[in-house]
Amino acid sequence: MVNIKINGKDIQVKDGMTVLQAAQEAGITIPTLCDHRDLEAFGGCRLCVVDVKGWRTPMASCTMPVNEGMEVETHSPAIEKSRKTILELFMSNYHDSGYQDGQKEETQFMHWVKHYGLDVKASMSPKPRHIVNSDANPFVFVDLNKCIQCTRCVRACADIQGRFVWSMAERGFDTHPVAGADTDMLDARCESCGACVAYCPTGALDNKMSIGAGKPDKLVMTTCTYCGVGCQFELNIKDGKVIRVTSTEKAPVNGNHLCVKGRYGYDFIHHPDRLVKPKVRRYLLEGKRKEDIREQRVEHSKTNPLISNSPISSPWDWVDVTWDKALDIVADKFADTRSKFGADTLGFLTSAKCLNEENYLMNKLARQVIGTNNIDHCARL
Amino acid sequence: MSNSMDDVAKQAQAFFIIGSNTTEQHPVFGAMLRQAVKQRGAKLIVADPRKIDITEFATLHLRHKPGTDIALLNGLMHIILEKGWEDKSFIDERTENFDEFKATVIQYPPEKVAEITRIPVEKLYEAAEILASCKPMAVIWAMGITQHIVGVRNVMDLANLQMMLGNMGKPGGGVNPLRGQNNVQGACDMGGLPNVYPAYQPVTSPEVIEKFAKAWGLRTKDELGKMKDEEKEFIPNPSREAFILSDKVGLTVTEMMPGILEGRIKSLYILGEDPVMSDPDTKHIRHCLEKLDFLLLQEIFPSETAAYADVLLPGATFAEKTGTFTNTERRVQMVRQAIEPLGDSKPDWWIISQLAKKLMVRISDRVQKEAAHAGWEFKDTAEIMFEINAVTPSYGGITHARLETGERLQWPCPSADHPGTLILHTKQFTRGKGKFMPIDHVPPAEKPDDNYPMIMSTGRVLYHWHGGQMTRRAKGLMEVYGQALVEVNPDDAVKIGLNGKNILRITSRRGSIEAKAWVTDRVPPGMVYANFHFPEASANELTHASLDPVAKIPEYKVTAVKVELV
């Protein structure tokens, strides 16, 4: 352990920690932008500077290790003033073209800009330097006018996704992130996991599908519906619709990381193809026997899209019915099959996409109510 | 998985990935493995006929011929024995049948294995040394191992390897199959299998049957025997099965489909599954579904299977209901309702309960309603979970309330005060001692010949999911990957005369598809790789239903095909 003093308070911290981590542990918030706990420290934005006794200039707390007897001031007037100056410098290159961003909340950068009393409109660069929406990736919206060269995208891609799509090109004032050898993200082998968006503190990289979607009414933490890893994320809900998926460090398996399907494959939920009414074939309502009309099904399915009610009246047309009616028809059929041919002529395919509770009920339905072990799902396929 | 994902990613000194395209199929875990290699220098061996993305991070890529996994594993174990690298104390203390197993492995000297697998002898030695010298080493696999007629034997041979090296029951080691679907683990745990009740309690066991009969209000065989004749007369359908739980193992999905043609299956209830896309030999599956007396399909979309349905019930997506999924590491996690079910659609658990209640009225003499869990009145899924707790030993202590407090619960978690189990088999195996199984190489069921000279393997791609019902309705995913691509090696592309053209016709003994070619050395010469995401060019038109005799899993990974220009 190491004994240090922060803002006049004696504290003990673990050896090897940075001053920033020590301050965070002591409950002191030092403004940061390029720093992120999941990423290797970079020390580039200088917003986290602090006064360290014995050092001539303010030091970046995110890269400075603690030392025995160290005395640190985190919010002295001089430090606060240099933070404001740093933000003013960032703002002089920053340009907001006025579109509604695709972020869950105010960006980290805007938070500090406002915190330090800067007028966004007055302090930002009057003209954009880059094309807005400059990359063709369908998920990632690139607006380098908002970039502050913090390199969190570069580090997220390399350290978290392991894909090395982003790097910094050119020098000095012209420094900016590029995908691959300054090409489109997908050409640079981007897997569209969205890590760079999740870690970007300014909205220079944004969720393309959510640009203009607004801020959520609520966030619901849930488990992904795609693969067996079991990532969790927040569904951003507005007016009863999923408008965005955001990752969160609170997710136990995956933290801030997601894949392209988890983060951006959610628009199927509100797709117009969704089945929203119980449907039965017309023949079931007309009391016809399936074996008498089997031939006509092929004809019907050739000329009709999957669910729309067809203009010509065929016994195979889909007809919308009430839940009660649909379930009665099914129950009659199943009970009839069971009494005529025996329980083992019924089969049940349960679903690896459904809940544990639902799978349990399918198992109970087949075994308790019907009396067959003919139950399986797609585990083999 | 015997171990957990974070445990393996943080502690394994080496990974052996065989038959798993981890970065595309379990992307976030795949990224964890990339981080382990890059950030802490863990060794990685990938055995896969294809040059999948994660091979870029591999210390060694073993590009064996499809369907030769057993020969490869036996060859590696042969070298380990030859060098004396096996964990003798683990073998002595924790396992049995080693000598019989050894007698089989001896039959696989490196030269012979090199001939079968086409992996050079020196690479086999290199791989064996990495596997044996890095402890702990974690084996990771997926469908590339299981979707063979020797799927079960492949898995057993991987267990042999891990027992031989003493990597079982240890942090960072273990046997780690990656489960495909979000809740395929849970569907298995909950008794969605023809041979077991929840928690893998066999349907043939009299004790298990008695337990569930008591819980669900069924009569037992004994009770039935004791009934007086006059009592039986009141019961309208006096066949045996009318009253008791069946002790007969049921049919798997791959048996139900052909069972329709044999008249063994008359009616099907399909919940959230799309056999037309996901089952082998699509033409045959269509033919089978056509012949059903009655098909109930409960779905979120009019899938390809919907064409054969008689009734379509609108279920709800994960965003519209609350309950639990169980991930590949046996971890049970909350799914929370975020929006109302769309239109008149309903949560699937509600639909199943309503149907059950209506059926109980029609099959009125079967269930004795006073039993503890006879009923179907559930207010919510938390209540269903209480019933699961009561009859499912490994889920005994897993409740929504505990999960909501943020507890990490991986089964087995038998009681309310049990913390769950991060690593299986730490002290002993389920059967006591681990039994080495002598496993011999068996070639795949379908062999290439003059008419069908190439091998096709199937699987999924990063941007799509299984039969594609969800991802084909996601705009951005379609923009990146909008049609089926068939991977073909540049050498073959030249032979086929693909120059400048790009549509291939792939034909097997069962069918034919036309799809765009992706000329790439991801596949070796003589092999093509196709997916089943798009109905207009689904690989399952070509696959065959040769099954593993135990697991009844089809051999998707080896189909003999002919590839020509369109």
Three-class SS state of B62: strand
- Rounded Cα distance, A158 and B548, in Å: 41
B99: domain CATH number is 3.40.228.10
Q: Any chain B CB within 8 A of the CB of A267?
A: yes
HSE-up of residue B497 (Cα within 13 Å, Cβ side): 4
Task: State whether B302 and A275 contact (CB < 8 Å).
Answer: yes
Residue of B nearest to A372 (CA): B246
Q: What is the pLDDT of residue B519?
A: 96
Give the domain ranges of chain A: 2-75, 217-274
Q: Higher-confidence residue: A292 or A235?
A: A235
Q: Is residue B547 part of a domain?
A: yes
Cβ-Cβ contacts under 8 Å between A and B: the total is 488
Q: What residues of A are in contact with residue B190 (Cβ under 8 Å)?
A: 350, 356, 359-360, 362-363
Q: What is the pLDDT of residue B227?
A: 66
Q: Is residue B26 part of a domain?
A: yes
Residue of B nearest to A299 (CA): B307
Q: Is residue B336 part of a domain?
A: no
Closest CA to A262 of B139, B144, B127, B31: B31
What residues contact B230, with CB distance under 8 A and at least 6 apart? none
Q: What is the pLDDT of residue B460?
A: 96
Q: In whole angstroms, how far apart are CA A212 and each of A103, A130, A246, A251, B254?
A: 9, 20, 16, 26, 47
Q: Please, are residues B381 and A355 in contact by the beta-carbon 8 Å criterion?
A: yes
Q: Is residue B294 part of a domain?
A: no
Of A232, A257, A264, the CB nearest to B333: A232
Q: Any chain A CB within 8 A of the CB of B31?
A: yes
Q: Any chain A CB within 8 A of the CB of B275?
A: yes
Q: What residues of B are in contact with residue A368 (Cβ under 8 Å)?
A: 212, 216-218, 245, 367, 374
Q: What is the pLDDT of residue B242?
A: 75
Nearest CA-CA distance, residue B480 and chain A, Å: 8
Of A228, A232, A371, the CB nearest to B245: A371
Residue where one domain finishes, among candidates B159, B178, B197: B178
- Rounded Cα distance, B116 and B66, in Å: 10
Q: Is residue B188 part of a domain?
A: no
Q: Any chain A CB within 8 A of the CB of B416?
A: no
- Rounded Cα distance, B472 and B30, in Å: 23
Look at residue A319 and tell me whether its pLDDT is greater than 80: yes
Q: Any chain B CB within 8 A of the CB of A117?
A: no
Q: Any chain A CB within 8 A of the CB of B296?
A: yes
Closest CA to B165 of B203, B137, B142: B137
Q: What is the pLDDT of residue A314?
A: 85
Look at residue A37 and tell me whether its pLDDT is greater than 90: yes
Kindly compute the dihedral angle of the four CA atoms of residues B437, B438, B440, B444, in this order, to the nearest 10 degrees: -10
Q: Is residue B215 part of a domain?
A: no
For the segment A110-114, the average pLDDT, to the nearest whole number, is 97
Beta strand spans in chain A (E): 2-6, 9-13, 49-52, 59-60, 71-73, 140-142, 166-169, 176-179, 205-207, 218-223, 232-238, 241-246, 279-281, 318-320, 346-349, 375-376
Task: State whether A284 and B179 contact (CB < 8 Å).
Answer: no
Q: Is residue B511 part of a domain?
A: yes
Q: Any chain B CB within 8 A of the CB of A264?
A: yes
**Ramachandran category for residue B406: left, alpha or beta (phi over 0 → left; psi -120 to 50 → alpha):** left
Q: Is residue B195 part of a domain?
A: no
What residues of chain A, 347 to 366, have a C-beta less than 8 Å from chain B? 347-366
Find tokens 């309330």 and name the residue. B401
Look at residue A308 and tell me whether its pLDDT is greater than 90: no
Report the range of poorest mean pLDDT among A233-237, A261-265, B235-239. Answer: B235-239
Q: Any chain A CB within 8 A of the CB of B479?
A: yes
Task: State whether B181 and A370 contact (CB < 8 Å).
Answer: no
Q: What residues of B are in contact with residue A331 (Cβ under 8 Å)?
A: 355, 358-359, 361-362
Look at residue A309 and tell me whether its pLDDT is greater than 60: no
Cis preceding-peptide flag for B412 (omega within 30 of 0): yes
Of A161, A192, A357, the CB nearest to B324: A357
Of B147, B179, B194, the CB nearest to A375: B194
Q: In whole angstroms, how far apart are CA B244 and each of A272, B217, B241, B545?
A: 45, 9, 6, 33
Residue where one domain finishes, among candidates B148, B178, B208: B178
Q: Nearest 5°: phi and psi at A55?
A: -105, 140
Candidates 3.40.1260.10, 3.40.640.10, 3.10.20.740, 2.60.40.10; CATH matching A2-75:
3.10.20.740
What residues of chain B, 489 to 548, have a C-beta less than 8 Å from chain A? none
Mean pLDDT of chain A: 94
pLDDT bracket for residue A128 (50, 70, 90): very high
Cis preceding-peptide flag for B535 (omega within 30 of 0): no
- Rounded Cα distance, A160 and A257, in Å: 7
pLDDT digits (tens, 9 = 90+) for B392-451: 999 999 999 999 999 999 999 999 999 999 999 999 999 999 999 999 999 999 999 999
- Rounded Cα distance, A360 and B187, in Å: 8
Mutation site for A-interface testing, chosen from B252, B335, B389 by largest number of A Cβ within 10 Å: B335
For the segment A16-40, the average pLDDT, to the nearest whole number, is 96
Q: What residues of A are in contact with residue B181 (Cβ under 8 Å)?
A: 227-228, 352-353, 378-379
Partners of B20 in beta bridges: none
Q: Any chain B CB within 8 A of the CB of A372?
A: yes
In this structure, the number of other CB atoms found within 10 A of the CB of residue B499 comes to 9
- Rounded Cα distance, A23 and A9, in Å: 11
- Rounded Cα distance, B296 and B355, in Å: 11
Q: What is the pLDDT of residue B435?
A: 96
Q: Please, are residues B46 and B52 in contact by the beta-carbon 8 Å criterion?
A: yes
Give the H/E segment covering residue B202: strand B201-202
Mean pLDDT of chain B: 95
Nearest CA-CA distance, residue B335 and chain A, Å: 5
Domain range for residue B34?
Answer: 5-178
Q: What is the pLDDT of residue A306?
A: 60
Three-class SS state of B434: strand
Q: Please, are residues B438 and B552 in contact by the beta-carbon 8 Å criterion?
A: no
Look at residue A102 and tell me whether its pLDDT is greater than 60: yes
**Model-level ipTM above the cut of 0.90:** yes
- Rounded Cα distance, B398 and B411, in Å: 8
- Rounded Cα distance, A43 and A40, in Å: 10
Look at residue B221 and tell me whether its pLDDT is greater than 80: no
Report the range of poorest mean pLDDT among A109-123, A247-261, A292-306. Answer: A292-306
Helix ranges (H only) for B136-180 are 143-146, 151-164
The pTM assigned to this predicted structure is 0.95
**Count of the separate structural domains present in chain B:** 2
Of B182, B315, B324, the CB nearest to A224: B182
Q: Please, are residues B176 and B138 in contact by the beta-carbon 8 Å criterion?
A: yes
pLDDT digits (tens, 9 = 90+) for B33-89: 999 999 999 999 999 999 999 999 999 999 999 999 999 999 999 999 999 999 999
Q: Any chain B CB within 8 A of the CB of A151?
A: no
Look at residue B232 and tell me whether its pLDDT is greater than 60: no
Residue where one domain finishes, among candidates B178, B194, B222: B178
Q: Please, are residues B506 and B528 in contact by the beta-carbon 8 Å criterion?
A: yes
Nearest CA-CA distance, residue A116 and chain B, Å: 36
Three-class SS state of B299: strand
Domain A217-274 has CATH 3.30.10.20: no
Task: State whether B311 and A329 contact (CB < 8 Å).
Answer: yes
pLDDT digits (tens, 9 = 90+) for A332-378: 999 999 999 999 999 999 999 999 999 999 999 999 999 999 999 98
Q: What percent of chain B has pLDDT over 70?
A: 97
Burial of A316 (0-12, 13-18, 19+ CB in 10 A): buried
Q: What residues of A are in contact with residue B335 (Cβ under 8 Å)?
A: 222-223, 355
- Rounded Cα distance, A102 and A155, in Å: 22
B478: domain CATH number is 2.40.40.20
Residue of B nearest to A239 (CA): B339
